[in-house]
Amino acid sequence: MSSADASSSEPEPSPSWLPPRPPIVSGEDYIASLRGRGLRVFLLGERVAEPVDHPILRPSINAVARTYDLARERPELATAVVRETGQRVNRFLHVTESAADVVQQNKMQRRLGQLTGTCFQRCVGMDAINALYTTTWLIDQAHGTPYHGRLRAFVRAMQRQNLVVGGAMTDVKGDRGKAPHEQSDPDMFVRVVRREPGGVVIRGAKAHQTGCINSHWIVVMPTMRLGPRDRDHAIVCAVPVDHPGLTFVVGRQSCDTRALEGGAVDVGNARYGGQEALIILDDVFVPDELVFMDGEFEFAADLVERFTAYHRRSYVCKAGVGDVLIGAAALIADYNGVPQVSHVRDKLVEMAHLNETIYGAGIAASHESTATPAGNWQNDAMLANVCKHNVTRFPYELARLAQDLAGGLLATLPSEHDFADPEVGPLLKKYLRGRDGVSAEARARALRLIENMTMGRNAVGYLTESMHGAGSPQAQRIQIARQMQVEDKKALARALAGITDEVEGGA
């Protein structure tokens, strides 16, 4: 939302659960909005007084801030106009109104991947809003519930203030061989522990939640298909991140403490990073207005499948990050003086081929979107699962090729503090420079970026997240098997082979 849009729209009173505030316009506004919230955030065994100022957390905040600045720089890409109101809103808060809207989400995601080289943390919320838009409508049709209207009111409120909405789907699960109601500790899946006048109280934990500390609100969703005895686990609701019942424990990332050393080279990505945390929900009261499913267990699978279809094609963001890695690999080859060597060029071509294959499947899934009964648009689930299955493999090969082109110095490069040492620094600058005209520092920065993306902190967002985010490989294979239409394909083969009678003894 631009400042002009905010001032020209008709004022609408804030709901009781949302304190009034001016809309966030810029990345700077966004960073300011995170200050002074008093969150319970723990990192490296200590409570973090102010996450905005913590060197390990700040790069991930910068990455989210970039989404706001892109909306100002490229409104046609990173914002959308709501047909019903005429209001221009951030695309991460927009309910899709056409296949073109779904496609623009992917184009925005790739561009942000290029600009940040990491996870920018807003895709889960965007995909949750769109999946819930349809599922709440379907629940209302079946049960006469008020969920869809509540969700619409929530989304409008988020749009007016231009807030960051995160999503929380992955439960800690406990014994993976047991359903939620079979767990010895029922809190292994988030659940309603009691219902009170005006709302519900929930308890549990959500694991490795992307950008949750950097969000303003979290949408809690079930993680899997549920049965009648899992009714209390069939809860969808919105919770403010500064709720006193929430505790966040930040996950470790490889090389994360380099951010505490005061340097600029060894961190690799000089400005941006990702963030994952465990969210503990300790008897959190949620008012009815923010509950979008409560006990309708039979719709949990629908929600999960719709969300994962959206989110698996959202992994075209990895193509944007891949663009950065390809650029870094080409840069180090240039610095080493071998950009025209045939095998170097061939490896870069292979990297580009793999990267565009990721993007091609995701963007195709979006182009093939169709209208839902609720009025928003849902992407093609088969192609989305193919996209994500590619992502579980290709970034690892891209990383291998980048490391191949980087050479062994990727893993043996001395610290930037050694380069700054008056005794040994001049020797390092002499012996570790690249081709003529390329400084040792430039070469070191390119190597550290590749290390950061393939072995270090941002390898979490590029590699581990590629494997496990939005479901591990087997989850995509299950969906592909369900949707591959084998019988239809067999019919095509029969027709072309002229098979009219398969019974033994026939023609």
∠ CA 330-331-335, nearest 5°, is 120
pLDDT the model gives residue 8: 41
pLDDT the model gives residue 63: 98
Residue with tokens 């990383």: 399
Domain regions of the chain by residue span: 311-488
454 is in an annotated binding site: no
- Mean per-residue pLDDT, 97-102: 98
Rounded to two decimals, the pTM is 0.94
8 Å CB contact between 210 and 248: no
- Mean per-residue pLDDT, 442-451: 98
Assign 3-state DSSP to the chain and report helix, strand, coil percentages, each to 5.
Answer: 55, 15, 35
Which residues share a beta bridge with 203?
Answer: 191
Active site residue 317: yes
Tell me the residue type at 59. P
Active site residue 465: yes
pLDDT the model gives residue 6: 38
Query: Which residue in the list 54, 94, 148, 311 is annotated as catalytic?
Result: 311
Q: Name the class of domain 311-488.
A: mainly alpha
Residue with tokens 């966040």: 248
**How confident is the model over 5-19, as pLDDT tens digits?**
433 445 677 899 999
**How confident is the model over 276-333, as pLDDT tens digits?**
999 999 999 999 999 999 999 999 999 999 999 999 999 999 999 999 999 999 999 9
Question: Which H or E run contains 277?
Answer: strand 276-287
pLDDT the model gives residue 9: 47
CA–CA dist 324, 6 (Å, integer): 34
CA–CA dist 136, 237 (Å, integer): 11
Query: Which residue in the list 145, 210, 223, 372 is annotated as catalytic?
Result: 210
**How confident is the model over 147-165, as pLDDT tens digits?**
999 999 999 999 999 999 9
Active site residue 500: no
Query: Which residue in the list 30, 133, 147, 315 is annotated as catalytic?
Result: 315
Query: Which residue in the list 212, 237, 317, 387 is annotated as catalytic?
Result: 317
Mean pLDDT of the chain: 95
Query: Which residue in the list 212, 276, 289, 454 is annotated as catalytic?
Result: 276
Burial 235-253 (b: 16+ CB within 10 A, else e): bbbbbbbebebbbbebeeb
Active site residue 276: yes
Query: Which residue in the list 119, 212, 237, 387 is annotated as catalytic?
Result: 119
pLDDT the model gives residue 11: 61
- Mean per-residue pLDDT, 405-409: 97
Question: Which H or E run contains 209?
Answer: strand 199-210
- Mean per-residue pLDDT, 363-376: 98
Active site residue 387: no
CA–CA dist 111, 66 (Å, integer): 11
